[in-house]
Amino acid sequence: MDNAHNKNHDHNMEPEHNHQHPRNMEMHESHSEHADHESVTSPPISSSMDHEGHADHEMTKAADSHQEHEDHAAHVDHRGHEEMFRKRFWICLLLSIPVLLFSPAVQGFFGFSMPTFPGSFLITPVLSVVIFIYGGVPFIRMAGPEIRNRQPGMMTLITLAIGVAFFYSLAALIFSLGPTFFWELVTLIDVMLLGHWLEMRSVRQASGALNELARLMPDTAERIQPDGSTVEVRTDELITNDLVLIRPGSSIPADGLVIEGESDVNEAMITGESKPVKKIPGDSVIGGTINSAGSLRVQIIATGDETALAGIMRLVEEAQGSKSDNQILADKAAGWLFYIAVGFALLTGIAWTIAIGFNSEVIARVATILVIACPHALGLAIPLVVAITTSLGAKNGILVRDRLALEEAREIDIVIFDKTGTLTKGEFGVVDIAMADGWEADQVLAMAAAIEGDSEHTIARGIRKSAKERELRVPEVSEFEAIKGRGVMGVMDGQTGYIGGPRLLEMLEIKLPEKNVQFETQAGEKGQSVVNLVFDKAVVASFAVADVIREDSREAVDKLHELGIEVAMLTGDSEAVAKAVSEELGIDQYFAEVLPEHKDQKVAELQGQGKLVAMVGDGVNDAPALTRADVGIAIGSGTDVAVESADVILVKNNPSDVVNIFSLSHASFRKMRENLIWATGYNVVALPLAAGILAPFGFLLSPALGALFMSLSTVIVAVNAQTMRRMKFA
């Protein structure tokens, strides 16, 4: 540690400039400053979605992936589906207005009449045909997978209702069989289009996890020629044994071995190690990691698919492909209703034929059952709750990308937290100070920050940051100097101050006081780094510097325990660091020194024990585990790939928001269940009445009254969904 600290204070390194590609500079900045949460925005939709000729095909594709229970990651271009449903909804809604106005049933409900003119009687049927073809036929196509799989669901039920309503209405119009269902037809199509628009908007997600991983690799590299000169080449042109120059701040283009030079390398995005790792000749480096202040000459040992980063990409792809899709509650309810409706229709047809003989009244009665079997409310029961859930979550710092995962969150058994950047801030700070007699903590911290003022070392930045957080006045320092291999020095108030480790004390021939020796030992047991402040030829303070634990982490762990959820921690850090953090936060179990592929395996192992697992992380090395977990939760300020790989994103760096996810999941599921009860409960009453169960007592449910009940259930479902907005968050 001491060498790592002092080396970066050495100002004798060769003065080389960074010719890093601008895009890679941006990536470096995003990893050092953390990516903005706006990175979760989905990529622009394919322009092909603007062509109407592809729209029906895309609707069928959406249904195929949904109804056949394929991996949710296969739902590509949700924004395209969303735009298509939105467009069709508004066009059909506009065309439905004259259908409703010229419908005799609607006029009878509200007691008004429209002026007639030649051909006015054709407005309702003609526009209904247009709406059926433009807005309804795609639903019929989307019922194909359900029918082929013999698993009737919402699409089959919609098809049954609009198909019967359409063809019966045409027959009734042509053969004068009685009232038509045109207004019920168009409103049913409108509501279903609205429901699917809301659904697509809520489940829209980007599929850019692998692309974000690939972006870690720089586009170009500086290959060293036999004569010592360098030439810029594309990264994919590198081959094994090539020698490349890695300038300060540059991304390493491929896995390799350090041949010459010394530097610290930030490997947090790959290994999870919070501290930059010192690299000297003979050490290995990983492609995609960020070089620090030194210059390195690296011999390439792996390129392309053989690199560690490519291995992580394969894990992400595998984990995405292994996540199963669950059939949503509305599909199940629709499947039950399909069989119930068909059964009721058959029984009704048989019973009425026996009672009065087969005639137009029997046909109308059967058609009425099949039409009202698909309530408008069922089409909105889930999408409305999902839309409100995602909106409510977003206002409280929770972005929901996968609603199925959110529904599953209520059943989670164990939450695994990545340490660096999740439970901790992912940045160094002073966590403890041992002072000599007569000195105060703020005083020595201000002095240390002053002496470290011109250093760019990680520990120096941590000391300055801690002083800034305490709002300390930092004194003036002159004659700053980096002492090669030992530390730094500066003159303050005419006296020279030093900061460094054991080698600095050796140079100054100063013995570390016993109290400071014990302090250093205890800090080492916790995996913390220690530097000493020397002033007036005496050690006046020792500083323990480590990755700072977030203030809300303990509260989050406690609240999860209150919910009966076990808490675990994964980290690439050492056993000592993991144990210290785990004990401080009261975590149930931890896994230290875990490589990316092992993080993925740990999640799989816990799942193999029959547990539902949620993973909380923010780094690229967490991406496979995030996608493998039943619920992947990313800290929003983390790297883009973590955001792209997660099901739920926390915009704020607050681990307590993890608890809010489970609260939101329970509330959302409860409202979905209530809405389904209201939506399907309508059928429990309406279907027997439409079948004529009370006909002997003189009551027969007319299609118009059935439609009114249908509308009432829709209103109830909508109002019930809105009550979610009163939910309180922690």
Residues designated catalytic: 418
The residue among 12, 338, 311 whose CA lies nearest residue 151 is: 338
CA 451 from chain centre, in angstroms, equals 42
- How many Å apart are CA 648 and CA 671, to the nearest integer? 20
Instruction: At 543, list the tokens.
Output: 């500083």
Q: Return the amino acid letter for 318.
A: E
CA 158 from chain centre, in angstroms, equals 31
Phi–psi pair at 56, nearest 5 degrees: -60, -40
Phi–psi pair at 207, nearest 5 degrees: -115, 45
Q: Return the amino acid letter for 554.
A: R
The SS3 of residue 470 is coil
Count of Cβ atoms closer than 10 Å to residue 473 Cβ: 9
Phi–psi pair at 428, nearest 5 degrees: -75, 150
Residue pair 707/370 in contact (Cβ under 8 Å)? The answer is no
Q: List, as one string, the DSSP characters of 181-213.
A: -HHHHHHHHHHHHHHHHHHHHHH-----HHHHH
Q: List, as one string, the DSSP characters of 565-600.
A: -EEEEE-SS-HHHHHHHHHHHT-SEEE-S--HHHHH
Whose tokens are 């594309």? That residue is: 234
The SS3 of residue 393 is helix
- How many Å apart are CA 415 and CA 648, to the nearest integer? 13
> Looking at 251-350, which runs of residues are DSSP E strands?
255-260, 263-266, 277-279, 284-285, 290-291, 296-302
Phi–psi pair at 616, nearest 5 degrees: -115, 120
- The pairing of beta strand 478-483 with beta strand 648-650: unpaired
Residue pair 386/202 in contact (Cβ under 8 Å)? The answer is yes
- How many Å apart are CA 456 and CA 292, to the nearest integer? 10
- How many Å apart are CA 45 and CA 204, to the nearest integer? 11
Instruction: At 159, list the tokens.
Output: 């098809």
Cα dihedral 40, 44, 49, 50, rounded to 10, equals 130
Q: How many angstroms separate the Cα of 94 from the Cα of each of 97, 138, 187, 264, 555?
A: 6, 18, 11, 64, 52
Count of Cβ atoms closer than 10 Å to residue 296 Cβ: 26
Phi–psi pair at 531, nearest 5 degrees: -130, 155
User: What's the half-sphere exposure (Cβ side, CA atoms, 13 Å) at 50?
Assistant: 4
DSSP H or E run through 672: helix 657-691
